[in-house]
Amino acid sequence: MSAPLHLEFVMSGAKHTQLPDSVVEIAVAGRSNVGKSSLLNAIANRKSLAKTSKTPGATRLLNVYELQPEGSGKWVVDLPGFGYAKASKADQKRWAQMIENYLIERENLEQVLLLVDGEVGPTALDLQSLEWFLHIGLEVQIVATKQDKVKPSKLGARKQELAKKCGVDPKEVWWVSAAKGNGIPELRAEIHALLNYEHVEIVYIEDDGSDDEHHDHP
């Protein structure tokens, strides 16, 4: 288990070349309504570290958050959400190019956390993104969000289904709920380890969703 991560917003950039060099980076990627901002707020136990919006597509730049102390160079980078249907084709193309250039060019990118909506399962766009991330040689960790939205009676089957569609073992998918706190302490510990080059094995206890009250709440 891990305490909240002391993250502070550093800067935003429209291009990866606008970002200074870092020591190590973890990127957070996912569709525009998957809950990236809520998850960032949960791991930091902050309500407004990352701006949340009821309108998908609020994140339109590369947003950099640094693990303190200031100047550590240990970053969590929130990428623009992909697949926002109401955005213009020009904006969608620009955001896609921004994400692609960042993922290919950033030398100190350690891992990509690919967030998938656990309530609806992986979409074609999720699977296409996962395939491309792996194709270009990225280290990818799938994180299933909104666990609290899945009925406890259906959670086991949903975990099996989601993992199968993504082509991984169910134990390799991390399930979390930013709203209820499920899986958040374990995710904090893993991110902290990655940013500090610590090689630890995080064991996720199977959770049927019936013991939410025993989890830390962000």
Domains of the chain by residue range: 7-198
pLDDT tens string 29-76: 999 889 999 999 999 999 889 876 544 444 578 999 999 999 999 999
Average pLDDT, the chain: 87
Nearest Cα to 144, choosing from 185, 187, 83, 111? 187
Identity of the residue numbered 98: M
What is the predicted pLDDT for the residue at 60? 79
pLDDT digits (tens, 9 = 90+) for 2-38: 799 999 999 999 999 999 999 999 999 999 889 999 9
Give residue 6's pLDDT. 96
Q: Is 149 helix (H, G, I), strand (E, B) or coil?
A: helix
Q: Does the structure show a pLDDT above 60 at 193? A: yes
pLDDT at 133: 96
Residue type, 207: D
Count of other CB atoms within 10 angstroms of residue 155: 18
- Residue 44 phi, psi (nearest 5): -95, -5
3-state helix, strand, coil in the chain (%, to 5): 35, 20, 45
How many other CB atoms sit within 10 Å of the CB of residue 46? 17
Report the CATH superfamily, name and number, of domain 7-198.
P-loop containing nucleotide triphosphate hydrolases (3.40.50.300)
- Record the pTM: 0.86
Please give the torsion angle defined by the CA atoms of residues 129, 130, 133 and 137, in that order, rounded to the nearest 10 degrees: -160
Contact 67, 11 (CB under 8 A): no
Residue entry with tokens 């500090």 = 196
* Start-to-end CA span in the chain (Å): 14
Per-residue pLDDT reduced to its tens digit, 116-134: 999 999 999 999 999 999 9
Query: pLDDT digit string (tens) for 65-119?
Result: 999 999 999 999 999 888 765 667 787 788 789 999 999 999 999 999 999 999 9
Helix (H, G, I), strand (E, B) or coil at 24: strand
Q: How confident is the model at residue 190 (pLDDT cuts 50, 70, 90)?
A: very high
Q: Which of 74, 176, 182, 173 is nearest to 130 (CA)?
A: 173
